[in-house]
Structure 1
Amino acid sequence: MKTLRSVFFYFTIVWSTILLGASAVILFYTTRKHAAPHACSRLWGKVHLWAAGVRVEVKGLENIDPTKPCIYAANHQSWFDIFAILAKLPVEFRWLAKEELFKIPILGIAMTANGYIPIDRSDRRKAFASLNRAALIVRNGASIVIFPEGTRSPDGVLQDFRMGGFVLALKSQQPIVPISISGSYRILPKHGGWKIHPGVIQLTIGAPIPTAGLTSKDREDLVQAVRQAIRAHLTEREGGLLPDHSSV
Structure 2
Amino acid sequence: MIMLTKILSIFIYITMSIPLALIGILFVISVIFLPSKMNTFGRLTSICVLKCLFIRLRINGNIPSDRSLILMYNHSCFIDPFLFAYSSPGKTTGITAIENYKLPVFGWMLKKWNAIPIDRSNIQNAKKSIEQGEKAFKEGYNVIILPEGTRTVTGKIKKFKKGGFHMAINTRAPILPIGSKGAFSFKPKNRWYLKPGLVELNVGEIIEPSRYDELGVNGLVNEVREQMKKLTGYELEE
Could you tell me how far 1:105 is from its partner in structure 2? 2.2
| 1:239 pairs with 2:238 | no
- 1:230 counterpart letter in structure 2: M
Structure 2: runs of 5+ lacking an equivalent: none
1:5–1:52 Cα contact (<8 Å) kept: no
Paired position in structure 1 for 2:218: 220
Paired position in structure 2 for 1:211: 209
Paired position in structure 2 for 1:58: 59
Query: Which TM-score applies when normalising by structure 2?
Result: 0.88
Query: Are the structure 2 counterparts of residues 164 and 17 from structure 1 closer, same or farther at C-alpha, using a change threshold of 3 Å?
Result: farther
2:20–2:49 Cα contact (<8 Å) kept: no
Q: Could you say what secondary structure the match of 2:101 adopts? A: helix
Structure-1 separation of matches of 2:141 and 2:11: 35
Could you tell me how far 1:4 is from its partner in structure 2? 4.1
Structure-2 separation of matches of 1:89 and 1:129: 24
Percent of residue pairs bearing the same amino acid type: 27
Structure 1: runs of 5+ lacking an equivalent: 241-248
1:25–1:109 Cα contact (<8 Å) kept: no
Q: Could you say what secondary structure the match of 1:232 adopts? A: helix
Structure-1 separation of matches of 2:17 and 2:101: 16
Paired position in structure 2 for 1:244: none
Paired position in structure 2 for 1:110: 109
- 1:127 counterpart letter in structure 2: A
1:153–1:159 Cα contact (<8 Å) kept: yes
Query: Are the structure 2 counterparts of residues 18 and 140 from structure 1 closer, same or farther at C-alpha, using a change threshold of 3 Å?
Result: same
1:170–1:216 Cα contact (<8 Å) kept: no
Q: Could you say what secondary structure the match of 1:233 adopts? A: helix
Count of residues paired in the alignment: 233
**Superimposed CA distance per residue, residues 37-80 of structure 1 (whole angstroms, 9 cap, x where no aligned partner):** 2222222222222122221221111xx22121111001112123
Q: Could you say what secondary structure the match of 1:118 adopts? A: strand
Paired position in structure 2 for 1:136: 135
Structure-2 separation of matches of 1:83 and 1:41: 8
1:77–1:185 Cα contact (<8 Å) kept: yes
1:22–1:110 Cα contact (<8 Å) kept: no
Could you tell me how far 1:188 is from its partner in structure 2? 0.4
Query: Are the structure 2 counterparts of residues 12 and 95 from structure 1 closer, same or farther at C-alpha, using a change threshold of 3 Å?
Result: farther
Structure-2 separation of matches of 1:202 and 1:130: 29
- 2:6 counterpart letter in structure 1: T
Q: Could you say what secondary structure the match of 2:75 adopts? A: coil
Cα root mean square deviation, aligned: 2.3
Q: Could you say what secondary structure the match of 1:239 adopts? A: coil
Structure-2 separation of matches of 1:215 and 1:153: 30
Paired position in structure 2 for 1:46: 47
Paired position in structure 2 for 1:20: 23
Query: Which TM-score applies when normalising by structure 1?
Result: 0.84
Could you tell me how far 1:131 is from its partner in structure 2? 0.6
Match of 1:7 among 1, 4, 10: 10
- 2:146 counterpart letter in structure 1: F
